[in-house]
């Protein structure tokens, strides 16, 4: 599976916190990381920040649903970024 966390090199604050959260199961940690990827992509494509209600809805969803959403958002983010680069190149001409 493609993970959008590959585009960041520095460890995130969330990853640092998750290392100390022993009470979360591995599945819960995985869900939180997927939700973090979703939040990052939303920021990249300039959507409004994720609200607490949206976070809770995502957290209550199945891991498979979150993985599908991450994949779909990855495709959308890549398309958005490509379109932005094309616009910038056209403006330079």
Structure tokens that stand for 86 in this block: 């094309």
pLDDT digits (tens, 9 = 90+) for 11-64: 565 666 566 666 777 788 899 899 999 999 999 999 998 888 999 999 999 999
41-49 contacts, C-beta under 8 A, 24 or more apart: 41/4, 41/70, 41/73, 41/74, 41/76, 41/77, 42/73, 44/77, 44/80, 44/81, 45/73, 45/76, 45/77, 45/80
Residue 10's pLDDT is: 46
Q: Is the pLDDT of residue 2 over 90?
A: no
For residue 42, count other CB atoms closer than 10 A to its CB: 16
Residue 14's pLDDT is: 60
Task: Name the pTM for this structure.
Answer: 0.71
pLDDT digits (tens, 9 = 90+) for 66-83: 999 999 999 999 999 999
């Amino acid at each position: 599976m493609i993970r959008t966390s590959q585009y960041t090199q520095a460890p995130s604050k969330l990853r640092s916190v998750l290392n100390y959260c022993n009470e979360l199961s591995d599945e819960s940690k995985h869900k939180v990381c997927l939700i973090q990827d979703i939040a990052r992509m939303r920021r990249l494509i300039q959507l409004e920040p994720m609200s607490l209600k949206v976070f809770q809805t995502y957290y209550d969803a199945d891991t498979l649903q979150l993985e599908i959403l991450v994949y779909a958002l990855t495709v959308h983010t890549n398309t958005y970024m490509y379109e932005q680069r094309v616009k910038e190149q056209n403006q330079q001409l």
